[in-house]
Structure 1
Amino acid sequence: MNRMSRSAGAPGFALVVPLLVVMAVGFNLPLLLMLGKSVVGESGLTLDHFAELFRVPAYLQVLGSTFRTALITAVFCVLLGYPLAYWLRGLPPRWQMVALAAVVVPFWVSILVRTYAWIVVLGNAGIVNRTLQALGWADEPVAFLYNQLGVVIGTVNVLLPFLVLPLFAAMLKIDPQLIRAAETLGASHWTAFRRVFFPLSLPALAAGAILVFILTLGFYITPAILGGGRVPMIANMLDLLVNQQPNWELASTISTVLLGVTLVLFVMYLRLTAQRESA
């Protein structure tokens, strides 16, 4: 029996081997080379690149700006996404499909197009500023763009569905009988939500927030366009170090730090996802 199972599994493994080779050569090998450059210097193994990274204020400023932008984006996605997902949950099935389509449709539009659309809406001569000036609410254009506010607005617009869709799916799995049971026992609707529904949806909310945070760390197009070069981000600095200077060692060091942070957050995301599925 064991011989038959081995002979049956061998052809399947042989079909997977080419994919494993492609993954190893196309992804794992460059990743290992990058990690190697971060700890290898002219005299052999060294941590001088990491010391330079944390010694130079400009690099720390970029790291701080990136993590701050990612945190603000995650917070706004939570504040906007949770009420939206909760509202979607309460809609009739037909209207749920319509509302979900409205959430998913932006995925069909290029991020580049959606980013430039914000310039049309929020630019100095954009729709919002012209409306504010026409109503007399502003004497001069409001600086919505080319600062951290513009980057956050564009990033939230792109990443909000990544929180809303899985959070909505998790909310649908919460048994409505639990809410009714709490209300039957004397709890108000708000108390039932606060004591029963929200704790059950919290793991999915936290997992979605971590996912948005991770995706923001590597954003390039939106900060480059809506930030106007005034909001330093890790991806933009890596482009500078690789294509203009170049300084592959320092770029590899920054990438290694970003990879380490991302892996830690990804492990947290997996644990929260597993907790949500087991609930």
Structure 2
Amino acid sequence: MTSADMPVPPLARPENGSRRALAWDAAVERLVSFAFALPCLAVVAACVLLPCAWLFWLSAFGADGTASWENYQRILDGASYGRIFLTTFEVGLGTVVACVVLGVPFATFVSGLPPRRAMLFLAAVLLPFWTSLLVRAYAWLVLLQRSGLINGALLRLGVIDVPLPLAFNQFATVLGMTHIMLPIFLLPVLGAMRNIDRALIRAAASLGATRGYTYRAVFLPLAAPGIAAGAILVFVMSLGFYVTPAILGGGNVTVLSMRIARSLSNYANWGAASALGVLLLAFTAGLFGLSYALQRAFLARQRT
């Protein structure tokens, strides 16, 4: 076969043409992805954005449609609202601290186990998910009340002479919420710890670092994004708890969700309840924004 009979390969597109083609492909891909996500976005808009806009309208506008900030002014001027917000944040922060103190060592232990044994421990932690939240709250009440199992055992052993006030207070509320939120905290923490490259741990040990120093300086910083994500998730979800504070608090612990329910059930005041909901939503959004900024700063610091 002579050179004249050999097939001529097609000419390659010029560089500018290839860039234009890549840009077109990327635009088409984004358009197709948006088309697939459009039903989900419609559901989010109908079930989340519209109700939030409706809450804001009820809180900031009167029945005749005129703007009125009376509901927000009442919240700012009322001392009881300040105490309710403070109690809500205290209970949420207490739950986060308890989850971190209990969850980080447990997650560290489970992340170092073989997969089969780790699944057994994780299943034991996730077991409360199969039980009703109401049942768990009353189970803690059976344990913590003045005539409960804990006080009864301590009295029989002679450790105490008078029953301890373990129930119907903030301690019981935080304890019950920790029992509910601990599995939710563990999921992102375990995911972060399992993704840590164990070669880094061995490298630190080969350089003479002790196990305690390696855990503090290498392991925990690498697991910090998962711990932060779990803590934020627990705190945000704790702000909306109703059943557990109502049962274990016994009326002595009033959180924001209980005040909103009371405004609707006793006074049918949709404006005041909506204002409380809008403020809680704004605080949650600000918390997510702050966590996102801190996470970006942490990742940028790790790259440098």
Same fold (TM > 0.5): yes
- Give the match's secondary structure for 1:45: coil
Query: How far is 1:22 from its partner?
Result: 5.2
**Pairwise mapping of residues 257-272 of structure 1 onto structure 2 (< 5 A)?**
257-270=279-292
Query: 2:74 matched to 1:74?
Result: no
Partner Cα separation in structure 1 for residue 150 and residue 216 of structure 2: 37
Q: Give CA deviations for 1:114-169 in whole Å, capped at 9, x if unaligned.
A: 11110121122221111100101111221111000110000000001111121011
Task: In structure 2, give the amino acid aligned to 1:187.
Answer: A
CA contact (8 A) 2:167 2:249 kept: yes
CA contact (8 A) 2:191 2:226 kept: no
Q: Which has the larger radius of gyration?
A: 2
Query: How far is 1:88 from its partner?
Result: 0.8
CA contact (8 A) 1:65 1:233 kept: yes
Partner Cα separation in structure 2 for residue 184 and residue 66 of structure 1: 47
When normalised by structure 1's length, the TM-score is: 0.89
CA contact (8 A) 1:37 1:249 kept: yes
Change (3 A) 1:18 1:168: closer
What corresponds to 1:3 in structure 2? none
Partner Cα separation in structure 1 for residue 299 and residue 120 of structure 2: 26
Percentage of matched positions with identical amino acids? 40
Partner Cα separation in structure 2 for residue 37 and residue 236 of structure 1: 19
Partner Cα separation in structure 2 for residue 191 and residue 10 of structure 1: 50
Q: Give CA deviations for 1:51-80 in whole Å, capped at 9, x if unaligned.
A: 210110011110111011111111111111
What corresponds to 1:29 in structure 2? 50
Query: How far is 1:264 from its partner?
Result: 1.8
CA contact (8 A) 2:85 2:255 kept: yes
- Give the match's secondary structure for 2:98: helix
Task: In structure 2, give the amino acid aligned to 1:34.
Answer: L
Q: Give CA deviations for 1:76-120 in whole Å, capped at 9, x if unaligned.
A: 111111011011112232211110110111111111111111012
Task: In structure 2, give the amino acid aligned to 1:95.
Answer: R
What corresponds to 2:125 in structure 1? 103
Which of 266, 271, 278 matches 1:249?
271
Query: How far is 1:28 from its partner?
Result: 2.9
Structure 2: runs of 5 or more not aligned: 1-26
When normalised by structure 2's length, the TM-score is: 0.82
Query: 2:212 matched to 1:185?
Result: no
Task: In structure 2, give the amino acid aligned to 1:148.
Answer: Q
Query: How far is 1:25 from its partner?
Result: 4.0
Which of 159, 169, 175 matches 2:191?
169
**Pairwise mapping of residues 102-141 of structure 1 onto structure 2 (< 5 A)?**
102-141=124-163
Which of 25, 35, 52 matches 2:74?
52
Structure 1: runs of 5 or more not aligned: 1-5
